[in-house]
Chain A
Amino acid sequence: MIAFTVALGASLATAMLNVMLDVGDKVNRELKTYGANINVIPKEASLLDDLYGVSEGHGVSDRHLRESELGRLKTIFWAFNIVDFTPYLNAEARMSGLDADVRLVGTWFSHREALPTGETLDTGMRNMKSWWSIEGDWLSDGDADAAMVGALLAERAGLSVGDAVALESAGARRELTIKGIFEAGSAEDERVYVPLSVAQEMTGRPGLVSSVEVSALTTPDNELSRRAAQNPKSLSVKEWETWYCTAYVSAICYQIEEVLTDAVAKPIRQVAESEGTILKKTKLLMLLITILSLAGAALGISNLVTAGVMERSREIGLLKALGAGNAPVSWLILMEILITGAVGGAAGYFAGLGFAQIIGRTVFDAAINIKPMVIPLVAILVFLVILTGCVPSIRLLLSLRPAEVLHGR
């Protein structure tokens, strides 16, 4: 029973600690699938945006970012926190069968980018917009004669997968086959997507992009990061260094601006902030569950051990009568429980790994990375829990008088 209680406590602790230590990444990745958290646009476009509240998305600006520079995103200080990024080239186009212009967007779908570091990164819309529901297929970057159309636009134009459609932009005309119709649940549902190279060719803007969406893992904002976001120059050198070397979204934006020519990076606020809060709360919850499960185990153990000592009071009294001191008898009981506890703890640890994976699968839809540091942590916790659990019974044991238990009055 003691072994079982310890096993239960240890398994919960193991599961929670593993999940907790891994959950930062998991929750972030989970939230990331609901969109990018940083938007990068050219400097002047951003100025217009700020002055007139006109997003670059509403007009087609003649300011651009360079596609060839995008690999540099993975060279910033927090390169590892940049999970995905996708460029967009926007244009207005006339579509056969419709009076009004439609928004044509060139992008990466599943692009393999060769990084300046010599590595490669697989990124693109497919990763960034994993929640889009697609009828038909995602485009691939080599599909020069195909397009993806938003569900609302498709309905308006009476299009379905497999249909051909003619698009005309900046004087260039193209016949494209509709390979997929997507439902994003947002403004994108009114747009036509083609591979970036196709859009660049059609609009005569080779090597240029209008904006880049970046998905980055970030640290929750605090007072320092908020001040920095308003004006990085207001920080002292020391503060600036701390800020720069922490994965605040503002620091990452700053570093992005450092590597891209004439670019402005802005956090997409709501998403970035909720990520931090949710992460904090989730971790707190896990910590609470860990503490509660261990406290529960300690209580359980103390009941079981006390009952055990009471049951064996005759035996313990006898040992004392034979001349065993308090210390040896306490050790005897403690050792027995520690050995049982160690067995239970080991079993619990492995059960906990299982739990962690189940939690990972059901909650985060991903495997939980097993952290070796959980082993000593759980071992110490189990040890402390057992010791705590033994306190009442050792006290009982010390107060046990052989004369009273042995003559069974």
Chain B
Amino acid sequence: MYLLDLQGVSKIYGSVKALYGIDLTVEKGEWLAIMGPSGSGKTTMMNIIGCMDKPSEGKVLLGGVDISAESARSLTAVRREKIGLIFQQFHLINYLTALENVMVAQYYHSMPDEKEALQALDRVGLSDRAKHLPAQLSGGEQQRVCIARALINYPMLVLADEPTGNLDEANEGIVIDIFRKLHDEGITIIVVTHDPEVAEEAQRTVILEHGRIARIVENRK
């Protein structure tokens, strides 16, 4: 059984076919990259996989369960239980400290646990910045808080939409190192990126063009 199985997935906005007839499978523990020009449907695909949007057609099986027919309410629950989201713009709450930002995810999942949240920050090397507000952190540090937040509830699948798009090279390196570590721990990761160097780190790269899969590249390692 695949962890993720897209079968003939399409998303149509009026006359725009953002995604069209996508067939794709992802194994548990796999690290997948998605590349493609702007407007090729990468974010649309991530939204559908991340339960933030529904396909117009086709099936999405997550852990063997078809989520394409679920209600908005149960999609919220799936998102909460199974998905970790990492954003290009970090999306931290600016009046909460790094630690509290991580704990927010715990709050809506189960119970805030400060020790566990601190450990998550430690995993991304930020335990000394726990009490800092987002404005007091660099872009790279903010992205690491965002990663800690995505990991806090032990998601089945981590989705990152251009996680290094707003970072300089040094910070990009740090983030890639973290992803490598997560991959070694057996976490399933899907990363959307414009950067071939980031994509090369993944096992496979899916190239999207005009809402279709143009080709899939196996990366040598």
Contact = CB atoms under 8 A, between A and B. Distances in A.
A403 B50 CA distance: 9
Given A319-B104, A321-B79, A325-B76, A408 B89 contact: yes
Interface string A100-124: 0000000000000000000000000
B52 A318 contact: no
B91 interface: yes
Interface stretch (B80-88, B182-190, B211-219): B80-88
A318 B93 contact: yes
A354 to B, nearest CB: 34
Interface string A282-324: 0000000000000000000000000000000011001111111
A71 interface: no
Contacts of A407: 43, 47, 161
A406 B109 CA distance: 20
B154 interface: no
Given A402-B52, A403-B47, A403-B52, A324 B108 contact: yes
A406 to B, nearest CB: 6
A321 B47 CA distance: 10
Contact of B108 (A315, A322, A402, A406): A322
A75 B93 CA distance: 72
Nearest to B149: A322
Contact of A323 (B47, B79, B89, B91): B79
Given A315-B93, A318-B91, A401 B52 contact: yes
Given A403-B47, A408-B89, A323 B161 contact: no
A296 B89 CA distance: 39
Interface in A363-409: 401-403, 406-408
A44 B89 CA distance: 98
Contacts of A206: none
A235 B43 CA distance: 84
A368 B123 CA distance: 66
Contact of A325 (B50, B52, B53, B73): B73
A325 B80 CA distance: 9
A98 B80 CA distance: 105
A359 to B, nearest CB: 41
Task: Give the size category of B's interface with A.
Answer: 20 to 34
Nearest to A408: B89
Nearest to B52: A403
A323 B52 contact: no
User: In the complex, which of the residues B77, B80, B109 has the most CB atoms of chain A within 10 Å of its own CB atom?
Assistant: B80
Interface in B137-161: 149, 161
B105 interface: yes
Given A319-B104, A321-B52, A323-B108, A406 B76 contact: no
Interface in A333-367: none
B87 A323 contact: no
A157 B52 CA distance: 101
A61 B84 CA distance: 103
A323 to B, nearest CB: 2
A179 B132 CA distance: 85
B32 to A, nearest CB: 20
A323 B93 contact: no
B108 A314 contact: no
A136 interface: no
Contacts of A402: 52
B85 A321 contact: yes
A407 to B, nearest CB: 5
Contacts of B91: 314, 318, 321, 406
A314 to B, nearest CB: 7
Interface string B70-108: 000100110111000101010101000000000011001
A407 B46 CA distance: 11
Nearest to B44: A403
A323 B43 contact: no
A67 B104 CA distance: 83
Contacts of A403: 47, 52-53
B101 to A, nearest CB: 10
A406 B87 contact: yes
Contacts of A321: 50, 52, 79, 85, 91
Given A320-B76, A322-B104, A323-B76, 18 more contacts: A314-B91, A319-B104, A321-B50, A321-B52, A321-B91, A322-B79, A322-B85, A322-B149, A323-B105, A323-B108, A324-B108, A325-B76, A328-B108, A401-B52, A403-B53, A406-B89, A406-B91, A407-B47
The 6 closest A-B pairs by CB, nearest first: A323-B80, A403-B52, A324-B108, A403-B47, A318-B91, A322-B105
7 contacts: A314-B91, A322-B108, A323-B76, A324-B108, A326-B73, A401-B53, A402-B52
Interface of A: 314-315, 318-326, 328, 401-403, 406-408
